[in-house]
Structure 1
Amino acid sequence: MDLLAYESAKKIWRQITKESTVPELEFELEVHKKLLNIFQVGDYYYYIFNCLEAQIEYVHENVTSVLGYRPEDFTVANVLARMHPEDLPWFLNFENAVTEFFTQLPPDKILKYKVRYDYRLRKADGEYLRILQQVVTIQADGAGGVLRTLGVHTDISHLKPEGKPVLSFIGLDGEPSYIDVNVKSIFTSEKGILSKREKEILSLLIEGNHSSQIGEKLYISQHTVNTHRKNMLAKTGAASTSELVAKAVREGWL
């Protein structure tokens, strides 16, 4: 899934560049650090992303204190691999929406929007943090292709311990903002990997039925029901049936 997600993300990011070429990084990083005054920062680190190459070209050493990883290990592939599996489809759908938004903007508006959304990342010690990702374009071509962006990752776990990720486009210099944007569900979550029978069993579990009751209602053995339940736990990464049910209700898998 991580490799497929990376390839999908690269295709999305290539679109936002409008197939342009990216010149060498000739600007002074210190100048663009001033852009950080538009971000609300707590425990944070920042980075520069090359959209066409789908590569992180620079990341601040604070990434070690926040996530526990060395700067050289903070690559796109590693970020996707350490993203919470429930949030990975949100991330891809958000990036697709971001590309659609920016490709429709006039070239003179490209630098006037900040993209903001959240997701969970796994630290080196295995704990998940909820990261607020805020990104602005710092380099674009004359046709409006986004070439490089400056991003800030802030730990907001204490502010948002749970809930679905939210995407917003924040207008700068008087431009309008778009909060909690609805996005197309091109990439699906765990609900897409559950079979029809598993969804039937999950629905009955949510209603409070036990395995024996589910077996009677679906005309299958209790052993078969239990096998499906174990498979659903393995597929979704849930540690227990109660966690599986809670995730299904919270994320809208049915």
Structure 2
Amino acid sequence: MDNNDGAKVFSVWSKENDIKLPKKKELILEIIDQIASCFAAGSFYYFILNFENITMDFVHEGLRDVLGMEPEEFTMEKCFERMHPEDLASMNEKETLVLDFFFNKIPKEDFFSYKSVYVMRIKHNDGTYKTLLHQASVFNASNDGKIEQSLCVHTDITHLNIPINHNVSFISTKKQSYHYAKNDKGYTIINRENNSLKTILFKDIFSKREKEIIEILSQGKTFNEIAKLLFISPHTINTHKRNILSKSGCKNTPELIAKYYINGLFQNTR
């Protein structure tokens, strides 16, 4: 780990999210587990990050499957140590953008309505990097309006072979979602009406069967495997495939799944 890059992230959190009046909240793990599972499709783990002292209040056992680590050994320092150097180098910019969004870009009443979403790579115990979709939402706010605890869900999307970028999205199922693209000058918001992501009505353009197929695709299944699972012919699956790609404007399946993930839509297909 580049200690300087990790220190920059801790500095952003300390400066922009300095908690003066903490408000303790009891962890009800059964409820948290249900919430976290709605964020993810496929292998995942989650953790509750306490910003008062930058410690883990809880780490989910799924960490063993995704990264080969024991929950009790997972800390932010360990996370940064295993993070791909390129991703760690951009973390302070991403987290600065996240805190600016929550504190300056949305009304206080929308604090709990959004989750921040971006992609990162973290090293598995076997030395390979896993591509993870990072989704974080405010779990508990302090009495002085800071983020005291955050629920972070990491979904393993390595099998999708998604091109790595450092874009950041802010997703809400109730409010307008926002997408920020990283460029040489920093971050620029992508206009919803004119960008190629087609976020407008994206979740509404597929039939129930098509949504079902997309979610199974996200688990790494092939179209032939899906045909067997759903008891339909490969020909029917191919027809669905053509329709899905045509509706989405995607060139291939990985692009489709990536778009679905980044727009936070898997929780709506269950």
TM-score, normalising length: structure 2: 0.62
The residue number in structure 2 matching 1:201 is none
For 1:4-23, what aligned pairs fall within 5 Å after superposition?
Answer: 4-23=4-23
The residue number in structure 1 matching 2:41 is 41
Count of residue pairs brought into register by the alignment: 185
The residue number in structure 2 matching 1:93 is 93
What are structure 2's unaligned runs of at least 5 residues?
Answer: 187-270
Separation (CA, whole Å) in 2 of partners of 1:108 and 1:184: 33
User: What is the SS of the residue equivalent to 1:152?
Assistant: strand
Offset at residue 90 of structure 1 (A): 2.1
For 1:62-211, what aligned pairs fall within 5 Å after superposition?
Answer: 62-104=62-104, 105-172=106-173, 174-182=174-182
- Alignment deviations for residues 11-41 of structure 1 (CA, whole Å, 9 cap, x no partner): 2122443433434442422222232254132
Separation (CA, whole Å) in 2 of partners of 1:22 and 1:160: 41
- Alignment deviations for residues 195-219 of structure 1 (CA, whole Å, 9 cap, x no partner): xxxxxxxxxxxxxxxxxxxxxxxxx
Separation (CA, whole Å) in 2 of partners of 1:52 and 1:184: 33
Separation (CA, whole Å) in 1 of partners of 2:184 and 2:17: 21
Separation (CA, whole Å) in 1 of partners of 2:142 and 2:76: 23
The residue number in structure 2 matching 1:209 is none
Q: Percent identity?
A: 31
Alpha carbons of 1:140 and 1:17: their partners in 2 closer, same or farther (altered >3 Å)? same
Offset at residue 54 of structure 1 (A): 1.6
Larger-gyration structure (1/2): 1
Aligned letter for 1:152?
A: V
The residue number in structure 2 matching 1:235 is none
User: What is the SS of the residue equivalent to 1:92?
Assistant: helix
Aligned letter for 2:71?
A: P
Whether the aligned pair in 2 keeps the contact of 1:16 and 1:51 (CA below 8 Å) is: no
Offset at residue 160 of structure 1 (A): 3.2
The residue number in structure 1 matching 2:53 is 53
Aligned letter for 2:102?
A: F
Alpha carbons of 1:183 and 1:108: their partners in 2 closer, same or farther (altered >3 Å)? farther
Aligned-CA RMSD value: 2.2
User: What is the SS of the residue equivalent to 2:159?
Assistant: coil
Alpha carbons of 1:65 and 1:123: their partners in 2 closer, same or farther (altered >3 Å)? same
Alpha carbons of 1:128 and 1:66: their partners in 2 closer, same or farther (altered >3 Å)? same
Whether the aligned pair in 2 keeps the contact of 1:119 and 1:131 (CA below 8 Å) is: yes
Separation (CA, whole Å) in 2 of partners of 1:37 and 1:115: 16
TM-score, normalising length: structure 1: 0.66
The residue number in structure 2 matching 1:251 is none
Whether the aligned pair in 1 keeps the contact of 2:121 and 2:131 (CA below 8 Å) is: yes
- Alignment deviations for residues 131-157 of structure 1 (CA, whole Å, 9 cap, x no partner): 100011110135431110111101111
Whether the aligned pair in 2 keeps the contact of 1:117 and 1:133 (CA below 8 Å) is: yes
Aligned letter for 2:11?
A: K
